[in-house]
């Protein structure tokens, strides 16, 4: 069995990653994240309900996610294909109020 991940989405400060559980034949997935510059993937956690939510995502990074299916606390099968997301957080630019002086 090969775990299946959907396209990750940044939602506020979190990343949500939908996944499939082989029609309920597996207990869940172990989710892994590898950001640019990291040598190995880091385990984010075990998820039994979709979507998985990465609450540890850091700003300004390009990261890929993979998953392994889990049955009875053991990883089975092959890792999922990697899915990627850019975690670039942008500050909103705010214009000064009308008539406000801009000091240099």
7-40 tens-digit pLDDT:
999 888 899 999 998 777 899 999 999 988 899 9
Does residue 102 surpass a pLDDT of 70?
Answer: no
Number of folded domains in the chain? Answer: 1
- 95 within domain boundaries: no
Identify whether 12 is part of a domain: yes
Top pLDDT among 90 and 79 is at 79
Q: Is residue 71 part of a domain?
A: yes
**Residue 96 lies inside a defined structural domain of this protein:** no
Check which CATH number belongs to the domain holding 39 and give it: 2.60.40.10
Q: Quick check: 16 and 9 in contact, CB under 8 A?
A: yes
| Residue 93's pLDDT band (cuts 50, 70, 90) | very low
Range of the domain at 57: 4-86
Asked whether residue 57 is assigned to any structural domain, the reply reads: yes
Structure tokens at 67: 């998953």
Residue 99 falls within a domain, yes or no? no
For the stretch 51-71, pLDDT in tens is: 999 998 776 678 999 999 999
Whole-model pTM?
Answer: 0.79
Residue 100 in domain? no
Rounded to whole angstroms, how far apart are CA atoms 68 and 16? 17
- The pLDDT score that the predictor gives to residue 62 is 86
């Amino acid at each position: 069995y090969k775990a299946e991940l959907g396209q990750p989405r940044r939602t506020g400060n979190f990343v949500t990653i939908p996944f499939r559980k082989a029609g309920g034949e597996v207990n869940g997935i172990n989710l892994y994240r590898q950001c640019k510059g990291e040598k190995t993937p880091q385990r984010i956690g075990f998820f039994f309900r979709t979507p998985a939510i990465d609450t540890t995502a850091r700003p300004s990074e390009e990261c890929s996610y993979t998953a392994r299916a889990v049955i009875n606390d053991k990883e089975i099968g092959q890792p999922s294909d990697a899915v990627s997301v850019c975690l670039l957080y942008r500050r909103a630019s705010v214009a000064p109020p009308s008539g406000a002086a801009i000091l240099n």
